[in-house]
Amino acid sequence: MKIVVSFVTVFIISFLLIFKLVYNGNKQEPEGEKIGFFMVIFVTVMLALLPTAAVGLMLFLLLGSANAVNMIFSLNLSVDQLVVLAICFLVYSFIIESIIEIIVKYILGENVFYHSTVLLIRIGVFYVIGKGIGLNPKVSFFIAAGVAIMILLIETLYNWREKNKQKDLKDE
């Protein structure tokens, strides 16, 4: 249920922001090119599905990572706890982590120390989030470390893939 509420919330926020953009853009069009109000609603719904799907994919990625750590270490967390953890991790990733990554990249440059520092910060923040929702310290640490390491692996694989694409484009 919490996942559905999260999706609906993201959809509503996306819908409202995109509706304002589409509606104002439509008002500025010449009279012959304007679309009707119901078409504006339809276009807005279709466009609002994109960020909702992206957030949903990331939420399921985090939920799957937390569930995998839960199963590997037999932490016996409930589905509700995993969903709340995944939502909190997602909120942190969208709101705060980008700022932290920019600061760390500015100070250290993009190298092994940068990735290690971001990993340690992520583990620390995820640990605090776990403690904040009532997990005991051991369980919170295992979830934090496991999910942070999985995110690092996914980011590393993505970066390698992008570098290989760029290298292949240069070779052609």
> What would the mean pLDDT of 139-164 be, rounded to a whole number?
94
pLDDT, tens digit, for every residue of 75-98? 999 999 999 999 999 999 989 999
- What is the value of pTM for the model shown? 0.84
Residue 172: pLDDT over 80: no
pLDDT, tens digit, for every residue of 94-113? 899 999 999 999 999 988 99
**82: burial class by Cβ within 10 Å (0-12, 13-18, 19+)?**
buried
Tokens read off for 57: 């994919």
